[in-house]
Amino acid sequence: MKKKVLSMTAFAAIGSAFLFHSHASADEIKVQSGDSLWGLSKKYNLTTTELKSLNKLTSDTIRIGQTLYIPGKSAPVSSPAKPTSNKPSASAIVSTYKVESGDSLWKISTKFKLSIIDLKKLNNLDSDQIYAGQTLKVSGTSSTPTAPVETKPQPAPAPSTPSTGSQTNTYTVKGGDSLSKISRLFNVSVANLKAWNNLTSDAIFVNQVLTLHKASSASDSPSAPPSDNGIDVAKMISDAKTLMGIPYKWGGNTTSGFDCSGMINYVLNKQISVKRLTTADYWRMSTSVSDPQPGDIVFFTTYKAGPSHLGIYLGNRQFLHAGSSTGVTISSLDNSYWAPRYLGAKHFNNN
């Protein structure tokens, strides 16, 4: 009888240990607020790739309440969870997306029902360029607070008497300045800055005093060049801006989708009759200019040698174009992608 009692006691002990082990083993978990694939992979000694493969996930995005399979991995012992409030958290759960080959900001923004501007703001992007393997936030808040609006410095008046019909000012170069940055700040061209200051290169130094000239009657905004080809430049730019956000479409020249030359063709035909031209045609039919003015066409080399992309110059080194990854948008000539591909500006001749 003693032997039988001992056997039952041993069986009970083994069963108890088995039940305890089953309880401690975490085969399935529910995603909690603040969880991420990376955090869970560390917690259960897995890689994110293994975790995604086990749960057939195609991205790093997970959601609260989602059930994930964690086979045979012991979760660390933790103190009893504090009761959670039903009150929603002030900060949103951050979801991410890994960029795949062929993706663009426009494609991703459409997929996650965001605007391109919001997507760039969430990820602190200063251009439309992304790359395969890059991880982007598609919800939540940006990791850094919005920078305060920079106040435009007031240039000090020069000691000399201003010449008739113009105003002469000076500006002292600060750390991080460049001729391009100063030209945008004071709405003048780099060429004029160099001419006014007898500069033979773009090199400047901190505390250097630069001379600035502005016509006293001039507006702060860039003025449109006189029309010599039957085109009202102000209307041309206004018409082009109404197309912002329309997606890119190879060979497209309607509001359902544009390629770069199709967008130019559409805008020009609002005022004059122009047949469908290629980027190379516009390059051949236009006259080169050293200092582009609003309404001129800027050219770039992209997927092949020679002019293969173009846009409308807006002034202040900004241009409007139909980009293959962005649709119709405004970019800067100083953008890290466009700057090395810039071929120059030309004035379109309607001959």
Residue pLDDT, tens place only, 262-315: 999 999 999 999 899 999 999 999 999 888 999 999 999 998 889 999 999 999
DSSP state of 340: G
pLDDT at 171: 86
Helix (H/G/I), strand (E/B), else coil: 319: strand
Confidence class of residue 161 from pLDDT cuts 50, 70 and 90?
very low
pLDDT at 350: 72
Catalytic residues, by residue number, are 260, 309, 321
Q: How far apart are CA 220 and CA 163, in angstroms?
A: 19
Token pair for 126: 């200063």
pLDDT at 101: 77
Strands (E), 116-178: 135-137, 166-172
Closest by alpha carbon to 138, among 123, 159, 155?
123
The answer to whether residues 128 and 116 touch, using CB atoms and an 8 Å cutoff, is yes
pLDDT at 228: 53
pLDDT at 90: 38
Whether the full predicted model's pTM is greater than 0.75, yes or no, is no
Segment (H or E) for 236: helix 233-241
Higher pLDDT, 27 or 182: 182
Can you tell me the mean pLDDT for 81-102?
A: 60
Closest by alpha carbon to 119, among 101, 140, 144?
140
pLDDT at 14: 45
DSSP state of 35: -
Q: Could you report the per-residue pLDDT of 106-157, keeping only the tens digit for each? A: 788 788 888 778 888 888 887 777 777 888 888 755 444 444 434 344 444 3
pLDDT at 166: 43
Q: How far apart are CA 307 and CA 250, in angstroms?
A: 16
